[in-house]
Amino acid sequence: MTVKFKHVRVIHGPNQSKFPTCTSLLVDGGDTVAVVDPGAGPEALRAATADVQVDLVINTHYHFDHISGNYLFPDARVWMNPLEVEAFPNLNRVGEWLGIKEIYGDTGVACWISSVASPHTSQCPFSPCNRHEWWLSTRTPARVYTYDQEWQIGHARVIMVPAPGHTRGFCCPYFPDEGLVYTGDIDLTGFGPWYAGSDGDIAGFIASTRRIAQLDAGWFLTGHQAGMVSRDVFLGRLERFLNVISERQERLVTLLKSGVEPEDIPNYGLLYPPKYQVDPWIAMWERIAVRKHLELLQAPSSLSCPI
């Protein structure tokens, strides 16, 4: 849906901004211009910013699909959330948060960093694991914005609302004057919520999503696929989206009851069908997600999180 805002323009990525691209925002505050989460791909980003000088790049979190185009704006200052600012330029931390350290150890992290440092490394089939933009877009140390505080980008006001769960530092830019929230990876996709990095948290994802839904906004823009939706549509689709978590949990319980050993659950694909697990990152995220769902069995009440 196309909606006009005073200071905010939506930059759609190719293929409905499906992962590993995302929908980006151009915030034109008059004397200051920012791009939020430049993951829409070089072509769309260059076209959208052809006539402006981009002063700021703002990242909601450190994931590839939200930072991949940072390097396209070498003259801009990069801003990151307080919990993930170390990602610039310390990819060791990224390797920890994403789950590489948990599954492949310190050697895996070191190997990954040398892979992305080179523009010639061969690519993985289903994830942006070895993309060189990881390296290019994390070279500049970032400045830190403050959560929950009004931030003036020229004449545009934005509040970075923390929404931990997807990652620890993940947040949603809220534009109170526009009545707009950029919900990023609270994206309403049929795949469902993603919390498969070592720093993801299922109960946190649910609680944060419900808080974001309560913001006083008429429009919600997702980072992938759904795009711009009205408040009613967002609220209407939210339960279906969150319910995917319960469906995964129910499937886990069924598999365990049928005699599948916990360590074999990833072979059944709780999040990712086995054919995608030939990709080392997909296999890694499947195992971490299964671990989190197994942990939920110890604390089942955290799934039901009433407003």
Please choose, out of 41-49, 180-188, 207-215, 235-243, the segment that lies near Zn ion by the rule CB under 5 A: 180-188
Under DSSP, the state recorded for 208 is: H
Give how many residues touch Zn ion by CB under 5 A. 2
Please choose, out of 150-158, 178-186, 210-218, 265-273, the segment that lies near Zn ion by the rule CB under 5 A: 178-186
Nearer to Zn ion, 185 or 199 (CB): 185
Q: How far is the CB of 197 from Zn ion (least distance, A)?
A: 8
Q: How far is the CB of 230 from Zn ion (least distance, A)?
A: 24
111: closest CA among 101, 102, 119? 101
Q: How far is the CB of 83 from Zn ion (least distance, A)?
A: 14
For Zn ion, the nearest residue by Cβ is 63
Question: CA dist 45 to 13, 26, 65, 92, Å?
Answer: 8, 9, 13, 28
Q: Does 199 bind Zn ion (CB under 5 A)?
A: no
15: tokens are 């293929």
Write the binding mask 205 to 234 for Zn ion: x where contact by CB under 5 A, - elsewhere: ------------------------------
Nearer to Zn ion, 168 or 291 (CB): 168
Q: Does 185 bind Zn ion (CB under 5 A)?
A: yes
Q: How far is the CB of 276 from Zn ion (least distance, A)?
A: 17
Q: Are 141 and 75 in contact (CB under 8 A)?
A: no
- Give the 3-state secondary structure of residue 196: coil
Question: CA dist 205 to 118, 165, 244, 266, 307, Å?
Answer: 34, 4, 12, 21, 13
Nearer to Zn ion, 7 or 63 (CB): 63
CB atoms within 10 A of CB 109: 19
Nearer to Zn ion, 185 or 286 (CB): 185
CA quadruple 262, 263, 268, 270: dihedral sign = positive
- Name the strands in the sheet holding 219-222, side by side, starting at the edge strand that comes first in the sequence: 150-153, 156-162, 171-175, 180-184, 219-222, 228-230
> For residues 47-86, which are near Zn ion according to CB under 5 A?
63
The residue ranges that bind Zn ion (CB under 5 A) are 63, 185
